[in-house]
A and B are shown apart, each in its own frame.
Chain A
Amino acid sequence: MRFTVACYRVFGRNVALALIHLVVAYFFLTDRAGRRASLAYLRRVYATQAGRSALGRAPGWHTSFLHYRAFALSIADRVELWLGRAGDFHFESHGSEICDRFAAEGRGYIVLGSHLGSFDALRLLAQRQQRCVNVLMFTRHAQQINRLFRELSPDAEARVIEIAPDSVRAIFEIRDRLRAGELIAVLGDRMEPGDRGRASQVQLLGDSVSLPQAPFLIAGLLGCPVVFMTALRSRARRYEVHVELLAERVELPRHEREKRVGELLAAYAGRLEHHCVRAPYQWFNFYDYWADASSAEGVE
């Protein structure tokens, strides 16, 4: 990250973009597992009607390379966003009235993102509403990341909250942030090592995947709204931001918790798939995402 930022500062966008392309081309050529995962994913997309028309051709080397390339472009944009050049970007938002309403009501909410498109665009949304974004991460490096955030863009209102699954401290911090009307952002499409298996099985692109329950469990504990968000790149420096309400207020009665969380995660996966097949190259999970479905049937 620091290296990429340095390239930008020294060489400007075009040279940095060329360098990023080189790095990505290198990964494309050498990362056999990633390439195979990309192809397997693109085939799943192609099996859907919307996906077939978005891809326009059967998946192969070419589409897979486009997939890698989209990743390179997204990194380049990310760096620019981080460098505070948000003014050069155009965001067309769909559904952000929900956020405006929550802001007007002074309510905090959870923004559930994914590795589809750019999650950084979220910061822009928050900035516009003058709200602070707190990113939840399963990391021990929260302090270093916070320092990097401040170095890169001192004005940006963003911080990282480190969570451990059964951690009480994080819950109280999240609650205080929500009460202050702030946003809690978390990625919902991958199990992290710290999740300790609190997962629900839901359908995504034709097979079941494990998604972490943590975001909805937290929302249930604190009774807050949850929105789905993705920002898809339409062309250079232009993004379409989609915000959709998943739950106005998450309530999880004790004996129905598993069932309710499962339903909410299925709704999230549904929205994810909807946008994914329309912008198939912007799915940035370059690993065997459906591994559970093929190998460990029925294993928690």
Chain B
Amino acid sequence: MTGKASPESIFTWVCEILKREFQISDAEISPTAHLIDDLDLDSIDAIDLSVRLEEKTGLSFKEEDLKAIRTIQDVVDFIAERLD
């Protein structure tokens, strides 16, 4: 993924990945949805998500990054900041 992406478009495809790969329903998705508490992702899912996001964005995720990410919005912000 190259060039600038708006936070809105990042939000859209992060949600697409969550729906397609993690069977999260539309109703569960919102920027403030907590990945673990609300979406029921576990540590393996978190790694799975980071592998997929890395493939899409070319960004690399570190353990500290994953620990800091709690909500869908955190994921979007993380990517938006680094793709700038």
Q: Which A positions have Cβ atoms within 8 angstroms of B? A: 165-169, 171-172, 175, 217, 221-222, 254-255, 257
Contacts and interface: CB of A to CB of B under 8 A. Distances in A.
Nearest to A164: B63
A286 B22 CA distance: 42
Given A217-B44, A221-B44, A257-B44, A168 B50 contact: yes
A169 B23 CA distance: 25
A222 B50 CA distance: 12
Contact of B51 (A167, A171, A254): A171
Contacts of A222: 51
A169 B66 CA distance: 11
B60 interface: yes
A38 to B, nearest CB: 36
Contacts of A168: 47, 50, 61-63, 66
Contacts of A175: 51
A221 B46 CA distance: 11
B47 A166 contact: yes
Contact of B54 (A165, A166, A172, A255): A172
Interface of B: 22-23, 43-48, 50-51, 54, 60-63, 66
Contacts of A166: 43-44, 46-47, 63
A138 to B, nearest CB: 16
A101 B55 CA distance: 26
Nearest to A214: B44
A141 B7 CA distance: 42
Contacts of B62: 168-169
16 contacts: A165-B43, A166-B43, A166-B46, A167-B63, A168-B61, A168-B62, A171-B47, A171-B51, A172-B51, A172-B54, A217-B44, A221-B44, A254-B22, A254-B23, A254-B45, A255-B23
Q: Kindly name the residue among B44, B47, B61 whose own CB sees the greatest number of chain A CB atoms within 10 A.
A: B44
Contacts of B60: 172
B31 to A, nearest CB: 22
